[in-house]
Amino acid sequence: GAGVSQSPSNKVTEKGKDVELRCDPISGHTALYWYRQRLGQGLEFLIYFQGNSAPDKSGLPSDRFSAERTGESVSTLTIQRTQQEDSAVYLCASSHPLGLAGVQDTQYFGPGTRLTVL
């Protein structure tokens, strides 16, 4: 079946513009994560959606960042008034529960969106 898809694959924008990144998780995966990965760095957690529960927004770096998810499907990450430091690859991942309380299976990652803010 299809894996996690993300669009666009590349986005170049000017400082101050808003951008919207899209993630289509694997069908049936209740959990969805957004991460940011700067060049040569590790993954920085941004936000986590689990089913219909309130999302865990603890990783969002500022109020310019927001994300939404429609049910257990598509998610969009919006960055308002982009800054040069927002340049990074934004990765989305999804997973499904293993049947053990609160335990998620491994995450399946999308190919990422490379964001460049000029």
Partner 1 sequence: ELKVEQNPLFLSMQEGKNYTIYCNYSTTSDRLYWYRQDPGKSLESLFVLLSNGAVKQEGRLMASLDTKARLSTLHITAAVHDLSATYFCAVDSNDMRFGAGTRLTVKP
Q: Which chain residues interact with partner 1 by CB under 8 A?
A: 33, 35, 41-43, 45, 48, 56, 58, 91, 93, 98, 100, 102-112
Report the residue number, 70 or 106, with the smaller CB distance to partner 1: 106
User: Considering just the CA atoms, what is the radius of gyration of the chain in Å?
Assistant: 14
Q: How far is the CB of 44 from partner 1 (least distance, A)?
A: 8
Report the residue number, 53 or 66, with the smaller CB distance to partner 1: 53
Report the residue number, 19 or 31, with the smaller CB distance to partner 1: 31
Helix (H) or strand (E) holding 91: strand 88-95
How far is residue 46's CA from residue 34's CA, in Å, rounded to a whole number?
Answer: 5
Report the residue number, 14 or 103, with the smaller CB distance to partner 1: 103
Q: How many CA atoms lie within 13 A of 75 on its CB side?
A: 33
Angular region, 16: left φ>0, alpha ψ -120 to 50, beta rest: left
56: tokens are: 């865990």
Q: How far is the CB of 15 from partner 1 (least distance, A)?
A: 25
Q: How far is the CB of 17 from partner 1 (least distance, A)?
A: 25
